[in-house]
Amino acid sequence: MYKYGVVIPVYNTNINAIFRCLNSIYHQTESVDEVIIVDDGSTDEYRTNYEKIREAFPKAKIIFQENMGEKHARLNGIDNLNSEYVLFLDSDDSWRSDLVQSLKEIAEKLTPDIILFDHQRMDEKGFSKYRTLQNIESGWCDLDTLIPIMLTSSDLNSVCTKMIKKSLIKEAIADLRKLPHLSSGEDMLMSYCLISKAKKIYYYKKPLYQYIFNSGSITSSFRLNGYNDILLSRQYRKDVCCSLTTIDSELLGKYYSAFWDSISRYVRKLLKQETVDKKIKTDILNEIYSSKIFQEMLSTDAEYSFNTASKKLEFLLFKNRFYLLLAIVLKAKNCILNIKVPQKGI
């Protein structure tokens, strides 16, 4: 029998969310052997919560560190974990009650390096959406199956939807420590690094993880420097996949289309920011234009596509650096979308 542990990075998390998170661990049909909470430099206001947490969950081990980011908090937890298999859980999310039992059965029988599983995306009102890997059933996964998903979607980004052998993490530890610090996207870097080193990957098609979407979180709010995270993380995923296999032109085109979808969302939000100086906006847009990934996109023979005429227009304007005209087009589009058409009387 293997031992199973979970690492929970925490930074300024509401105590009700932490209690929901921990209750989902301690009310499993089968228990984990270790629970490690790593506080990543929360403010004093939030640190006072740990007295209540220790009282309610005395078996959980709590570690404090200076604010170094989520990746370092997770690796710190790994250093203090004795289990052979590791799970990660964000402090404002939760597990389905059968997560541990389901994954244990697979691990004990098949001993994979990584077990992938699905999640439910739940908003603050309780609405949920099931996210699954498309066109794949439960079973062993090879790189030919996973690389198209890695290049074109976010479905494999999270380390929280994976159970991982600790020995694999230790094998990759030097590379994990060298990964760049991102405000948003560190999860994906860590996940792809581990997938690239795994020899046996199993997929279990069941939504065991419950991701609670918070409209005020880092990933859902606009950050002026957010473009850096997009450029670095998108470049990293391409570099990892290219190191594993040869990417054909069709898949490369889909990758660039997905990249443009991601960076254009940032561009649209940036141009809407009335408090940001025009020169700062222009400088940021020029940085995106000059980035390695965008220049590679312009020079490739791969066919990238746009699913709407308006997205194609936005790309052409950006490609030719008509930033002011792009801002005008986006503003006009927004005005049109906000027009309320009066309903005809019956």
Please give the C-alpha separations between residue 270 and each of 214, 220, 276, in angstroms, as whole numbers: 21, 14, 8
Please tell me the distance from the alpha carbon of residue 322 to that of residue 288, in angstroms, as a whole number.
Answer: 14
Please tell me the distance from the alpha carbon of residue 202 to that of residue 113, in angstroms, as a whole number.
Answer: 8
**What is the pLDDT confidence band of residue 128, given thresholds at 50, 70 and 90?**
confident
- Residue indicated by tokens 């600790």: 166
pTM of structure: 0.91
**What is the pLDDT confidence band of residue 297, given thresholds at 50, 70 and 90?**
very high
What DSSP character marks residue 67?
S
Residue 220 has pLDDT above 60, yes or no: no
Q: What is the mean pLDDT of residues 240-269?
A: 95
Tens-digit pLDDT profile for residues 90-115: 999 999 999 999 999 999 999 999 99
- Residue 219's pLDDT is what? 52
Q: Are 255 and 152 in contact (CB under 8 A)?
A: yes
Domains in the chain: ranges and CATH = 4-212 (3.90.550.10), 226-337 (no CATH)
Question: Which residue pairs from 126-135 have beta carbons closer than 8 angstroms and sit at least 24 positions apart in sequence?
Answer: 128/210, 130/207, 131/155, 131/207, 132/205, 132/207, 133/203, 133/205
Closest CA to 234 of 209, 205, 270, 259: 259
Q: What is the mean pLDDT of residues 15-40?
A: 97
- Residue indicated by tokens 């979308």: 337
